[in-house]
Amino acid sequence: MEQFSGSDSLDALISICPPKEKKDEQINTHGYSEEFRAMLDRINGEDLSYETSQVLEKRRRLSLYQVKELERSFEVENRLEPDRKVNLAEELGLQPRQVAIWFQNRRTRLKTKQLQRDFSLLKDSYDALKLDCNNLEQEKEALTSTLRELKEKLYRQSSEGNHSVEEESLISEFDNNVSDRRQTGDLFENGEKAVRVYSDSKDGSSDCVSNSLADRFRDSESREVPGKAYQPQPTRMEEQSTYCNFFSVDQAPTLHWYFPEQ
DNA sequence: TTGTGTTTTATTGCCTCC
DNA sequence: GGAGGCAATAAAACACAA
């Protein structure tokens, strides 16, 4: 509980002995019991005619002028030094305790508003991130679907034992697909930061997925493995269940399903 | 007029600082 | 231990729709 002294003592006493709890006692013309009034007399030891008439009034809202002045003072400094409190109280015809309470409540309102603003900013940020995440999920699904189709075609063609010309066709189909999506902003719309794929070329340079894949195809053409026909393993690709696993910068794709001998 | 929700003023209890 | 701050809460005052 706050401790009170001097002119605050009467307010404090009122709070300790609220009039409503004296309903069953003899009530005087001010609405308070004789016992309660006598107690006030004993404590203050002086004429209470003015002070009690102020205190015993019903709660009133502060006037427009009082609120404006308090607001003005609050803007300068939202903490009250004792001297400033007394001066403000005298200036506005209030009890120093009323000024202190007003500042306390005002700080509470300020804090509440600030929290609401912070919450709003965080919510906006969350919504934007969620949207980005959804877009990336859609990109992932589209790319996975494209990849699956290409794998199926490749598997069919390799089963027929003739893949040199068709491979080139598939590479350009894949490249066109990626290129179209890039041009329409459907792919890499976040500046490629989230979907870059590093090639495992010897010089360590990075490249986008289309070029890397094309290089791999071209490498595979020049590669000669005597007595060993190329055997893709399409089912292993499904193990790359998440977008991040497949396209993140932290883990370059191994493409081991293309090159099982790797 | 009245019920209901919101705002403002004030109290209470706990905590920290000096 | 006193002074003052804060969170939670009460209660009066006010706004407003039905």
Domains of chain A by start residue, with CATH? 34-159 (1.10.10.60)
Positions of strand B less than 7 angstroms from a protein CB:
8-14
Query: DSSP for A93-151?
Result: T--HHHHHHHHHHHHHHHHHHHHHHHHHHHHHHHHHHHHHHHHHHHHHHHHHHHHHHHH
What are A110-164's pLDDT values in tens digits? 999 999 899 889 999 999 999 999 999 999 999 999 999 999 999 998 887 655 5
CA of A66 to C1' of C9 (A): 25
**What mean pLDDT, rounded, does chain A reach?**
61
Q: Select from A145, A154, A150 the least CA-distant residue to A231.
A: A154
Dist. CA A161–CA A170, nearest whole Å: 16
Q: Which nucleotide is nearest to A81 (CA to C1')?
A: C4
CB atoms under 10 Å from CB of A115, counted, come to: 10
CA of A62 to C1' of B9 (A): 9
CA of A4 to C1' of C6 (A): 17
CA of A8 to C1' of B7 (A): 25
User: Which residue lies nearest B12, CA-to-C1' measured?
Assistant: A1
Percentage of chain A lying above the pLDDT 90 cut: 34
Beta bridge partners of A27: A33
Residue A86 confidence (pLDDT) above 70: yes
pTM, full prediction: 0.51
pLDDT band at A174 (very low <50, low <70, confident <90, very high): low
Query: Which chain A residues 52-71 have CB under 7 A to strand C?
Result: 58-61
Dist. CA A231–CA A158, nearest whole Å: 7
Mean pLDDT of A182-192: 47
Kindly determine whether the C-beta of residue A64 is less than 7 Å away from any atom of nucleic acid strand B. no
User: Which residue lies nearest B13, CA-to-C1' measured?
Assistant: A1
What confidence score (pLDDT) does residue A183 get? Answer: 60
Weakest-pLDDT range from A44-48, A87-91, A102-106:
A44-48
Kindly determine whether the C-beta of residue A15 is less than 7 Å away from any atom of nucleic acid strand B. yes
Kindly determine whether the C-beta of residue A104 is less than 7 Å away from any atom of nucleic acid strand C. yes
User: Which residue lies nearest B15, CA-to-C1' measured?
Assistant: A1
